Structure 1
């Protein structure tokens, strides 16, 4: 599905869970690089709880218009326009993000009034790189360091590797690349991939393929540049009522180390940290 924003840009999205327009609405912000397919993993839980889960593709991902000048702080306005689209019509809503979607949750918490945004959650989220990248896997650490300085180089690397494999008719090529990236992950992550728990491997492959389907490496390169650069707001700008912002994180997470989350938790007023 798509909606056209006031400036003519397109935002693509999918709806999971309970599709009823009167069901409580949660906007799901996918990780990086990924697309709306990622939210399919939560389709059954959302359906059981009567939640309408709307998963938009950020600009440059999926079929959403690539926007060279975009900033992380532009996202809350896009979300509000999407919420006000007659096809969605969500006067109030919550937001939930995973990994690289975490900064976009925080941007919404900082900019959208509580009269619209009721609650927020981040699962295994990324926090400002200025907090330190110690303990992070080498690949994401290099990406966050290099992308702000050489986005064109990062785009070419994505095009040469991930994009070429994702666009190949042989799904085994992209699976091989993604399986290699799983080798340094904690055992539960590797098991979920190897055993395709709850369709995890299939979901991840679809999400990554969807992220480059129209814009190639431009979208992921821009996403990495934004994540690795100053975000345009401070963690202290995020003020949610106690219990309305929950940070879920795995204690053994090697992609985004727990130490980063613990440093971010303190200045996030009202946030609750839950470590699994």
Structure 2
């Protein structure tokens, strides 16, 4: 099985007003409904999802490298708000009229930031990281994750330097495999998927670990927006078998209560690899909000 991974149909880089370049990849019809993908931690624009379902649904899937990862130039000290500004420019330059967004894993807060800034019409959060630094998780985080959150709160600069020293694609791959349930390992270690996943990770670290380190600081910090202020539809997708310590500790239960427009989809037999095992369901629900 390939779990819907495909080579990009279009690749490019868009110049931002400050001169930086933002890398992107596209699949599906160029005149289709734009869906912006905010990838998971330390993966590049090349890791797709949905396969043939993207074409069948008439979706123009656009995956974007965050600054410092893959083909996107670095932006030291960037924030989730800065990300929304960058994407606002990309939307205008690439004529992505009224886009939707998908945020997978660590990409979740980046996708929700687009919703908070009213850049997208609806969002699907898939196996998403939550606001891990929020007081509601004070006593429910994995101890290692709690240490990371505390380190960022105590000194973001020092924490970022520490995260940069974590390693690279090999170390992160090992962490993913050892913390995933069997249902997810079956996806990640499938030869076709593994090749696509590992290549995306290698590309993400091509400029060094700084982009990954900055993303991790943002993932372990308080969000600069209030989820209660989001007004567009938000689908929260979680698998009950998901064992990732950096995804939502309560599988989106409290986040669904905070976001007034949220619908939570909890799948008993699924794990964290939902983006590839249930891609058609995710796309169908997302598109239903605007069609």
TM tier, shorter chain?
Answer: 0.7 to 0.9
Query: What is the rounded CA distance, in whole Å, between the counterparts of 1:14 and 1:212 in structure 2?
Result: 17
Question: SS of the residue aligned with 1:54?
Answer: strand
State the Cα deviation string for residues 159-195 of structure 1 (Å, max 9, x = none).
Answer: xx31xxx5xxxxxxx3x86245312311211111233
Match of 1:271 in 2: 262
Question: Kindly tell me: are residues 156 and 183 of structure 1, through their superposed partners in 2, closer, same or farther at Cα, counting changes over 3 Å?
Answer: closer
Contact 1:135 1:254 in 2 (8 A): no
Residue 20 of structure 2 corresponds to which residue in structure 1? Answer: 9
* Alignment check: 8 A CA contact 1:102 1:123 kept: yes
Cα distance change of structure 1 residues 185 and 226 upon mapping to structure 2, 3 Å threshold: same
Equivalent residues in 2 for 1:125-164, closer than 5 Å: 125-129=128-132, 130=134, 131-132=136-137, 142-147=147-152, 148=156, 149-157=158-166, 161-162=167-168
Count of aligned residue pairs for this structure pair: 248
Residues 13 and 232 (structure 1), Cα distance of their counterparts in 2 relative to 1, 3 Å cut: same
Contact 2:141 2:249 survives alignment (8 Å): no
Match of 1:122 among 112, 119, 125: 125
Pair 1:44–1:141, CA change in 2 (3 A): farther
Correspondences of 1:96-245 after superposition (within 5 Å): 96-112=102-118, 117-129=120-132, 130=134, 131-132=136-137, 142-147=147-152, 148=156, 149-157=158-166, 161-162=167-168, 166=169, 174=170, 178-179=173-174, 181-196=176-191, 199-214=192-207, 216-240=208-232, 244-245=233-234
Given the alignment, which residue of 30, 33, 37 partners 1:24?
33
- CA deviations on 1:88-126 (whole Å, 9 max, x unpaired) are 21221101110011001111111125xxx2221110001
- Per-residue CA distance 1:125-157 (angstroms, 9 max, x = gap): 011112327666666555444453521122123
| Superposition deviation, residue 45 in structure 1 | 2.0
Q: Aligned to 2:121, what secondary structure does the other structure show?
A: strand
Structure 1 CA distance for aligned equivalents of residues 190 and 143 of structure 2: 25
Tell me, yes or no, if the aligned pair for 1:249 and 1:258 is still in contact at 8 Å.
no
Q: Distance in 1 between matches of 2:76 and 2:253?
A: 33
Normalised to the residue count of structure 2, the TM-score between the two structures is 0.78
Q: Distance in 1 between matches of 2:175 and 2:129?
A: 21
TM-score normalized with structure 1 length: 0.82
For structure 2, list consecutive stretches of 5 or more residues without a partner in the other structure: 1-11, 268-291
**Whole-angstrom CA distance in 1 between matches of 2:17 and 2:210:** 23
Segments of 4+ in structure 1 off by > 4 A?
133-145
Alpha-carbon distance, 1:44 to partner = 2.7
| SS of residue paired to 1:42 | coil
